[in-house]
Amino acid sequence: MTMTTPRNPVSLEEQIDQWRSYLRRRQTIHSVDVTGLEKQLREQMASLVNAGLAADEAFLVAVKRMGSHDALTREFARANSNRLWKQIQSAPSDAGESLAPVQTEVMVAFCLAVAAAVAIKVPALFGLQLDEHNIEGTRFYLRNASLLLLPLLALYFAWKQRLETRTLRWLAVAFVAAGIFANVYPFSRTSSTEVLTGLHLPIALWLIVGIAYAGGRWNQFDGRMDFIRFSGELFIYYVLIALGGGVFTVFLGMIFKAIGINVGPFIGAWLLPCGAAGALLIASWLVEAKQSVMENMAPMLTRLFTPMFAAMLIIFLATLLWTGRGVDVTREVLIGFDLLLVVVIGLLLYSVSARDPQSPRNTFDLVQVVLVISALLADGVALWAIAARITEFGFSPNRVAALGENIILLVNLAWSAVLYIRFLRGRGSFSSLEKWQTDYVPVYAAWAAIVVILFPPLFHYL
């Protein structure tokens, strides 16, 4: 695509040439493919210009993003970012040119957030309230909450990426098909497969959002890795917004209580569901708008929690051996185990996505291996307990779903451990671990789709 002309005295090509020259001067110290990195830089810039940035601004952001996984580019960014930023600031600018695309994106994100807030309340018009006393409403939201929100998020990314009409059709078909399978089966009120559908449908649909996010780059390693980074950063931003919303809600209730008005029903029926729905779009926009800041925060949080989770799993396994107790395989325990392993996979994914593949092996890599191996052993314990339960009581939808999920996690953890140990021993590259993680992501969505589509008829809507 054609990029807009930079507005500063130093031309865009001169800035790229300075970056290229810096890398070539350092080639004697670091082994680096300058041509390949330049191609990545220009692709990042093209994507940012597409999103509305001026070309010179796109250069700065692209260099910052690439610096998260390339040591030399990070060195260049540290050494030159202030100078380059001053060049842009000192240049004459057309405020309308630079602000209009940003303002447009803000308005689109805000309008879609409002649409999400409205969508989450539309079922109430048909008597389907999200209320503990409205059983049918609760069941409807269990199956359809993701279908009310994720299409709007996919639409936001489709607009940003300017996806082709053909791709939009396929995305629409996927969401419509998901809606059919979520609602076509006549589940009973005590149906286990209905709960499984509600838990697994968002996982399958998240892959569709990823395709919209990556645009034409989903089949590329970098496109999938960018979506992994986005998912981690979105979680962090959403939690921060939720914490702020919680403080706001407390003060709202307090000040109205002071004048004798109970706003509890309003908070429960409107503020919380509408705020939670709209926050998904706002958090997604913030991740995209402030990506360079979050690329510093998220790896820091990963480094904080990785040793904590590793220590917790080691203590759990040691206690299990010391006491000789087995795992109580109830549905809640299975869900808890799976969530724990998903968090471990998430920590691994995000640390892999944020690490410079060219950096030497360090202590944190060893901690990561300890975390992966301890999670692998914990998964083995869970699998043994599930198999024993199936042998004793037979198959049920919950046990089969848990069995499949734990096998999928076991395969991922086992091969991740092998690849990471090879890297630590100097017999493999870190990029092979990155590729394994990004290639494995669709497996989770595929299993989730199997649970949603096949489990209800296989288990007769139990």
94-125 pLDDT, tens digit each: 434 344 456 788 889 999 999 999 999 999 88
Q: Determine the pLDDT at residue 136.
A: 83
Percentage of the chain surpassing pLDDT 90? 24
Query: CA 431, CA 357: separation in Å to the nearest integer?
Result: 6
Query: CA 274, CA 272: separation in Å to the nearest integer?
Result: 6
- Say which residue, 292 or 442, is predicted with more confidence: 442
Instruction: Give residue 5's pLDDT band: very low, low, confident or very high (50, 70, 90).
Output: very low
Q: Determine the pLDDT at residue 345.
A: 84
Q: Determine the pLDDT at residue 297.
A: 60
Q: Determine the pLDDT at residue 103.
A: 72
**Mean pLDDT score, 253-274:** 83
Query: CA 137, CA 124: separation in Å to the nearest integer?
Result: 8
- Say which residue, 407 or 363, is predicted with more confidence: 407
Longest dimension (CA), the chain: 76
Q: Determine the pLDDT at residue 151.
A: 96
Average pLDDT, the chain: 79
**Dihedral Cα 401, 405, 411, 416, nearest 10 deg:** 180
pLDDT at 83 over 60: no
**Mean pLDDT score, 116-138:** 84
The domain limits of the chain are: 12-93, 96-288, 291-458
Contact call for residues 62 and 45 (beta carbons, < 8 A): yes
Q: Determine the pLDDT at residue 32.
A: 59
**pLDDT, tens digit, for every residue of 22-72?**
666 655 444 556 677 777 778 778 777 776 667 767 777 777 666 555 555
CB atoms within 10 A of CB 147: 18
Q: Determine the pLDDT at residue 358.
A: 67
Q: Determine the pLDDT at residue 1.
A: 41
Q: Determine the pLDDT at residue 435.
A: 86
**pLDDT, tens digit, for every residue of 391-434?**
888 888 888 888 899 899 999 999 999 999 998 888 888 888 88
**pLDDT, tens digit, for every residue of 215-260?**
878 888 778 888 888 888 888 889 888 988 888 888 888 877 866 7
Give which of 357, 349, 378 is closest to 423, Cα–Cα: 357
**Mean pLDDT score, 262-276:** 88
